[in-house]
Amino acid sequence: MPAEKLSQPRLGQLGAYPFERLKRLFEGHKPNPELVHIDAGAGEPRLPLPAFTKELLNRHLDGFSRYPTTRGGDELRQAIAAWLMRRYDLQYVDPVTQVLSANGTREALFAVAHALVNPEACCGNGKKPYVLMPNPMYQIYLGAAITSGAAPYLMPCTRENGFAPELDAVPDDVWADTAMVYVCSPSNPTGWIADAGYYSRLLELADKHDFYVLADECYSEIYWDTPPVGLLGVARSLGREDFSRCLVFNSLSKRSALPGLRSGLIAGDAELISRFAKLRSYTGPATPIPLQMVAAAAWSDETHVQKHLEIYRQSLAAFFDAYAQGSPPAGSFFVWLPVEDEEMFAVAAFEQQAVTVLPGSYLGATDRDGSNSGAGYIRAALINGPEKAAELALRLKAVRV
């Protein structure tokens, strides 16, 4: 029996996930036993549950005895549409045709490429269509591009370009073969934020070269001073009331500190939503009804979100006061710190200071020039409150490689 029959070659092209790599890197190393461990590795908010969670879950427990719909129930989709309209000053978002529930945005950001990219299309000479993404990036974009049969095209985000995935650095022949572009704003891991001009230019290019724009805006409610603009808001300001070519992804994991709820939103162009909904009706990521009720409440309440934002801002301020170098990112709760060798630094931080941080190269990929735009950085997540953030800064300063 030919071995190829039993192995999926695209899966073989995926590297180990960053946290798997981190586990391997730390094998045989022990954290300094004299210090309490600070885990700044994963971007998992550690804040108390929003007050309404338990009561709502209890009230709707019976919902576990019914199958949820894949699109999400009316209450959830209406709450999402209402949040989008409030947040981005939109005229109208149709909860029926322009919104879907996601079981966390991770699965949605992955699956969307499988719904929208035609790997057999374009491009002459057996070439594949491109899926563009920042480098470094949330690794799901890379996995999605590869497994959907597209060719990932990386947009290096470096100190020199202000960590912006530069649109005007992409050659026209690449644009011509582009199927979709992932934007992450605010960016994990760099904290860069797309402004209205960036999104406008991208939409202009999308119209010219016929591709889709996917905005991962999971950190939209975590920012240093100004609330980030969103793709749908910019689309509206350009008169694209139908959000053509646009999909946005957002999540309750970060804004509401509910990563275990696994609940997010997908919204935008009704035609793309309909195609994605079709794929999802087969793959079946339906959000359980009691969880939908909690999610609807979380999109409808900003009080808890404001409290969380205050804690993240205090944490960022405390970190940079203590670190005495650099400044807070425009968005997200990540700090992206330059170091000589990111793997050596991460191991030393673990052994000497009982701190877990992620080597930046694990969030990057090898670029066309052979470099990895994440190399030479570590990412630390400020998820443990202001006091720990200050402590983390002092410990990172004390690391000797």
Ligand X SMILES: Cc1ncc(COP(=O)(O)O)c(C=O)c1O
Cβ nearer to ligand X, comparing 108 with 203: 108
* Window 104-163: residues binding ligand X (CB under 6 A): 104-106, 109, 138
Cβ nearer to ligand X, comparing 31 with 328: 328
Least distance (Å) from ligand X to the CB of residue 312? 14
| Sole binder of ligand X in the list 146, 184, 358, 381 (CB under 6 A) | 184
Cβ nearer to ligand X, comparing 31 with 156: 156
- Each residue 96-115 as x (binds ligand X by CB under 6 A) or -, in order, gives --------xxx--x------
Least distance (Å) from ligand X to the CB of residue 47? 14
Cβ nearer to ligand X, comparing 243 with 249: 249
Judged by CB under 6 A, the number of residues near ligand X is 14
Cβ within 8 Å of residue 342, ≥6 positions away: 359, 360, 361, 374, 375, 376, 377, 378
| Sole binder of ligand X in the list 31, 43, 95, 329 (CB under 6 A) | 43
- Each residue 255-274 as x (binds ligand X by CB under 6 A) or -, in order, gives ----x----x----------
What DSSP string runs through 127-168? PPPEEEEEES--THHHHHHHHTT-EEEEEE--TTTTT---GG
| Sole binder of ligand X in the list 253, 287, 353, 373 (CB under 6 A) | 253
d(CA 376, CA 372): 9
Helix axes 140-147, 105-116, angle to 10 degrees: 30
Our finding on whether 218 is near ligand X (CB under 6 A) is yes
d(CA 11, CA 110): 13
Q: Where are the alpha helices (DSSP H) in 223-327?
A: 231-237, 252-255, 270-283, 289-299, 303-323
Our finding on whether 330 is near ligand X (CB under 6 A) is no
Contacts to ligand X by CB under 6 A: 43, 104-106, 109, 138, 184, 188, 216, 218, 251, 253, 259, 264
